Amino acid sequence: MNPTQPHDSDLAYADTLWKAADTLRGQIDAAEYKHVVLGLLFLKYISDSFAARRDELKAELEADGIKGAQLEALLESRDEYTAERVFWVPPEARWQNLQNQATRADIATLIDDAILAVERDNPKLKGKLPRDYARRGIAPEKMKGLIDLIAGIGFKGSASRARDTLGRVYEYFLGKFAQAEGKLGGEFFTPRCIVRLLVEMLEPYNGRVYDPCCGSAGMFVQSERFVEAHGGQATDIHVFGQESNPTTWRLAHMNLAIQGIEANLGAQPADSFLRDLHPDLKADYILANPPFNISDWSAKLLENDVRWKFGTPPAGNANYAWIQHFIHHLAPPNGHGGGVAGFVMANGSLSSGSGGEGEIRRKIVEADLVDCIVALPAQLFLTTGIPACLWFLTRDKTGRNLKHGGRNRQGETLFLDARKLGTLQTRTLRVLTGGDDGQTRLPDGLGDPNMDTDIGRIVYAYRQWRGEPAPDWWNESEHGGWYYEDEPGFCKATTIEGIAKQGFVLTPGRYVGAEAQEDDGEPFEEKYPRLLAELERCFVEDQRLTGEIRQQLAMLSSDGVAT
């Protein structure tokens, strides 16, 4: 099984745990109880990982003939754990210790003390874990029930399997919390299929990856998985991020710690507009899902900001502030090409002209930064019904910044209309197939999406248009020739001049046209008179039926039934 695919047992247990956690809702809000659950999950994970390493170390030492006091001393040697990238867990924070005392009335205080001890002994986690259980006022019996449930999740075994188990449960909870919280949840949760699509299209093989509104850090996790799936190392990418919400910032750190990803998210949470924590960063890859259509973004304090190279964004909408922030942080063209960005944006960004947005968009297009626009299906997001799209920008269209090379596509933009793609997972939620949902092709150990999935169809149209070589597993007898071709209703390559003729509106539907209708083989000179004759027969039949109805109404009237 692909290690990034869900294990049914993990999700079944996560569902049980969610229902149990949901019972806390009567005492605290959804926005609060997610931290109660996820903090305990993290504590259980690092404790199990510590216990697994302890068992392994004990076996090694006993095999060398070490025993007694010397054995016990070495088993409590911090360096024996950190050298294996395992968090050191002090005795008071170990899960078994907490579970043994779960009946105590002050169990919440004990949990706070345990988390404080973990932060004390692991400087990278200092100030990044939730440790306010006591102040939440959760009834001790409810806390004990939650501890007992979480105790049933096993994170022992191989490190990769343990990370995968927690990662799956963690992502499941983030999604459920997003549903429970409504619009607020959308600030930290991006659907897995959207993250997968962004990563597969940008192909972040190596370099600096940046997300200035990183939420729970899902973009970084998928970027690392992409690198590893394509034969690279996690150290091939360097992660930079920023998040303004303090609790979500902590979630991001826990999520990254689970995956063993080193990241610079700044020393504290901060607003990317007002306090850019990476002012000099020029990123090779930017992946982001900024909050849509934000009206209160402190525009008046930033009127002459250096980032507004293409024009001052309107005070009532931050969309073009985000877009220009991304452009500002893209690495300039160099010997290996330039930076690329892929991000989610509200559909209004493609056509709006209010507040000078149309003029800003025109300048961005004329600067030849827009590489591709993807119109997304409705109902992909748990927390908003606002129609969304994906923007892909690049500093260099020569193909030099593509690992396997590509063609020079200067002056061109690809439009993809994916609104008809996707499968309803529930009555209100749609997913793009190929997003780690069990329908992913893994030929020769590579994480390429299957051509028959929604993500595969979008990704390969983009890669073919960029002139990238066919992957090794490509079978022409199965998939046809490896080349790009406009497909009415789905994809269309257009020049800057063509975009100018559309008033610099970037809505894909304007370019891709209508889907081609299947030819039934009947010549027009035969079809037209046949259809005309059928229409005449319909007219005659209509007149006949109208006459019968009038006759029946007249009979009813003469019988006195109606007047």
Q: Write the secondary structure of 92-116 as one string of H (helix), E (strand) and C (coil).
A: HHCHHHHHHCCCCCCHHHHHHHHHH
Q: Say if residues 317 and 364 touch (Cβ distance below 8 Å).
A: no
Which residues neighbour 485 within 8 Å (Cβ) at sequence distance 6 or greater?
A: none
**What value does the mean pLDDT of the chain take?**
84
381-408 pLDDT, tens digit each: 766 677 899 999 999 999 988 888 899 9
CA atoms of 305 and 157, how far apart (whole Å): 51
Confidence of residue 23 (pLDDT cuts 50, 70, 90): low
Q: Tell me which of 553 and 562 has the higher pLDDT.
A: 553
**1 within some domain:** no
Q: Please give the model's pTM, rounded to 2 decimal places.
A: 0.79
**Tokens found for residue 106:** 């002050």
- Residues 560 and 447 occupy one common structural domain: no
Which residues neighbour 219 within 8 Å (Cβ) at sequence distance 6 or greater?
A: 190, 195, 198, 199, 209, 211, 287, 288, 289
What is the reported pLDDT for 180?
Answer: 62
CA atoms of 206 and 223, how far apart (whole Å): 10
524-546 pLDDT, tens digit each: 777 788 888 888 888 888 888 88
Degrees (nearest 5) of the Cα angle 373, 228, 462?
Answer: 20
CA atoms of 318 and 117, how far apart (whole Å): 41
**517 within some domain:** no
**17 within some domain:** yes
Confidence of residue 174 (pLDDT cuts 50, 70, 90): low
- Residues 506 and 534 occupy one common structural domain: no
Confidence of residue 159 (pLDDT cuts 50, 70, 90): low
Given the DSSP bridges, would you call strands 340-346 and 388-394 parallel, antiparallel or unpaired?
antiparallel
Which residue's entry shows tokens 């002139």? 467
Degrees (nearest 5) of the Cα angle 437, 440, 442?
Answer: 145
- Residues 422 and 456 occupy one common structural domain: yes
pLDDT above 90 (res 479) = no
98-154 pLDDT, tens digit each: 999 999 999 999 999 999 999 999 988 888 888 788 888 888 988 888 898 888 777
- Residues 533 and 412 occupy one common structural domain: no
**Tokens found for residue 210:** 């940046």
**CATH (domain of 126):** 1.20.1260.30
CA atoms of 150 and 291, how far apart (whole Å): 32
Which residue's entry shows tokens 């529930």? 426
- Residues 148 and 19 occupy one common structural domain: yes
Confidence of residue 455 (pLDDT cuts 50, 70, 90): very high
**Tokens found for residue 38:** 């996820």
- Residues 114 and 198 occupy one common structural domain: no
Which residues neighbour 545 within 8 Å (Cβ) at sequence distance 6 or greater?
A: none
User: Which of 182, 211, 234 marks a domain boundary?
Assistant: 182
67-97 pLDDT, tens digit each: 999 999 999 999 999 888 888 999 999 999 9
User: Which of 155, 182, 209 marks a domain boundary?
Assistant: 182
| Longest Cα separation, the chain | 114
Residue-number span of the structural domain to which 546 is assigned? 524-563
CA atoms of 385 and 58, how far apart (whole Å): 54
pLDDT above 50 (res 4) = no
Best CA proximity match to 48, nearest among 144, 169, 224: 169
Best CA proximity match to 209, nearest among 240, 252, 249: 240
- Residues 176 and 226 occupy one common structural domain: no
User: Which of 182, 204, 236 marks a domain boundary?
Assistant: 182
Winning range, highest mean pLDDT, from 120-124, 335-339, 514-518 = 120-124
- Residues 142 and 208 occupy one common structural domain: no
Q: Say if residues 54 and 91 touch (Cβ distance below 8 Å).
A: no
- Residues 530 and 440 occupy one common structural domain: no
Confidence of residue 465 (pLDDT cuts 50, 70, 90): very high
What is the reported pLDDT for 156?
Answer: 65
Give first-to-last CA distance, the chain, whole Å.
Answer: 76
- Residues 220 and 312 occupy one common structural domain: yes
Q: Say if residues 234 and 228 touch (Cβ distance below 8 Å).
A: yes
Residue 473: phi, psi to the nearest 5?
-85, -5
H or E segment and range at residue 11 = helix 8-22
Q: Say if residues 118 and 109 touch (Cβ distance below 8 Å).
A: no
CA 275 to chain centre: 24
Best CA proximity match to 199, nearest among 230, 172, 177, 175: 230
Degrees (nearest 5) of the Cα angle 436, 439, 440?
Answer: 60
> What is the arithmetic mean of pLDDT over 412-435?
89
The secondary structure of residue 83, as a DSSP letter, is T
**44 within some domain:** yes
- Residues 384 and 529 occupy one common structural domain: no
Long-range contacts (CB closer than 8 Å, 24 or more residues apart) made by 106-110: 106/134, 106/140, 107/140, 107/143, 107/144, 107/147, 108/133, 108/134, 108/136, 108/138, 108/140, 108/143, 109/133, 109/134
Residue 3: phi, psi to the nearest 5?
-65, -15
- Tell me what percent of the residues of the chain surpass a pLDDT of 70: 83
Q: Say if residues 328 and 309 touch (Cβ distance below 8 Å).
A: yes
Reported in sequence order, the residue ranges of 318-406 that DSSP labels E, i.e. its strands, are 340-346, 370-375, 388-394
- Tell me what percent of the residues of the chain surpass a pLDDT of 90: 47
Report how many domains make up the chain.
3
**CATH (domain of 377):** 3.40.50.150
**51 within some domain:** yes
**188 within some domain:** no
- Residues 302 and 207 occupy one common structural domain: yes
pLDDT above 80 (res 27) = no
